[in-house]
Structure 1
């Protein structure tokens, strides 16, 4: 595949997914650089990117280990825990806690992709007692649980989170019944967004479909926004944070 074919390929992808627009621009810039380069700098750059990629993967693993260490003491013996969808960080926390404590987990099936079923199966494979429940049963089951633990696809500047659709309603139910709502997330998921409600979250994050060509009234959102007022604490590799402390950490990360 030559350079023109590569650019054309990414342009075609825009018809299905508008989020690759930056990738198209990046590929064009990279190709221009490669045409002018003698090869020496490119090899050096390639090696550096590979090394930093490996370092990034190691830091992800270390981040999850630290989050697990911080969160496990909040899971008591005999606890009943509610979680939502599939999260590698939540899975890591529950697996580690199960090594020394007895507790049970309720997992929502998490429509429309049923990722909760994947989470439930993963917990069973780790010998963690788990019950799969309907998304609509969150309010019913909340009075039985002791705490809620969820992951996050993004942690925004306000201290709120963007996560799988259904997270917000779970947080609302937890707040109404005075149950702690904990979030576990790596710091690389901190994003510079400040939504105040569901409408403020960009459509390109909400939908799987092409937001430029589809009638979004016919599409179901895949994520929702949970406000900081509904979150008890966030467990991150930067420490245990209150929602109000997230802004300070973002300033440190981006300035």
Structure 2
């Protein structure tokens, strides 16, 4: 393998993440660690310095795909900070062990989070959903396993209609579903006992970065006194915000919003397609993690406990 190249698994995973063939924070993190593991296992580096340079290069290739999904850099950070040793073999073994350890933690975290989130739900509650989140689904799955009857109102979540995925997963859990267009959320909030959303990242001040439309929904939910609950594993906490770094909002291709032929027919227009927005903590009732549930203003204490004060990143030279 040329020293400037990355393993095919890294290149393929990066492309799949960028094209949203691999989607969802936990799934992205899982795939990224598998790609790093493949890079480490196949490395033909002759020196520890060459191995470390190679693994950092692979991490940067993955990192560039989805700038807002903080589970991606957190998974890379976890593996790289556990890659230690004086020899190539020792570095390889520690990188592989770190990747496997991260995935073990990821598997148990979602089950623990689900059990905690399910405690917020009562038998007969109706939940309004935005987008698709495996963490949110873990809460609903746990509630159903507890024997609770749950009803669902699902926003279709344009432009990619991730709500359709949520509707299918809820039906698989035998939850009755009402699918609505995004603009109808205000009308249906009076029928909901809770709003449950996931997160792509959570900042140190308790703000939640999630699929575009989350902030609008949260503001309307607060007006209607409908509790807004965010389900987010700690892998989605963004330690860079402890030092004041702002979150980069991913802008996606305009053709997710409008077909090329239609755009040409309309004429000269500007099309913007932000993938996420930021919901301030004042609109959020609780952030549910595998470590417990927290008021958003307290999430900084958990973040410091887990990450300390972050500075230089491990993929930097």
Instruction: State if a TM-score over 0.5 links the two structures.
Output: yes
Q: Does the CA-based 8 Å contact 1:206-1:224 persist in structure 2?
A: no
Gap runs ≥5 in structure 2? 19-35, 52-85, 255-269, 309-317
2:241 is the alignment partner of 1:193: yes
Q: CA deviation at 1:163?
A: 0.4
Q: Does the CA-based 8 Å contact 2:46-2:88 persist in structure 1?
A: no
2:47 is the alignment partner of 1:36: yes
TM-score of the superposed pair, with normalisation by structure 2: 0.65
Alignment of 1:5-154 (within 5 A): 34-37=45-48, 41-99=87-145, 100-154=147-201
- Give the Cα separation in 1 of the matches to 2:151 and 2:287: 21
In the other structure, the counterpart of 1:214 is none
Q: CA deviation at 1:209?
A: 4.9
2:304 is the alignment partner of 1:251: yes
TM-score of the superposed pair, with normalisation by structure 1: 0.79
Q: CA deviation at 1:76?
A: 0.8
- Give the Cα separation in 1 of the matches to 2:174 and 2:210: 26
Aligned residues: 228
Alignment of 1:211-230 (within 5 A): 218-230=271-283
Q: Does the CA-based 8 Å contact 1:95-1:128 persist in structure 2?
A: no
Gap runs ≥5 in structure 1? 18-25, 211-216
- Give the Cα separation in 1 of the matches to 2:6 and 2:200: 30
- Per-residue CA shift, 1:86-128, capped at 9, x if unaligned? 1001111111212311121111111111111011111112212
Aligned-pair RMSD on alpha carbons?
3.2
SS of the equivalent of 2:241 reads coil
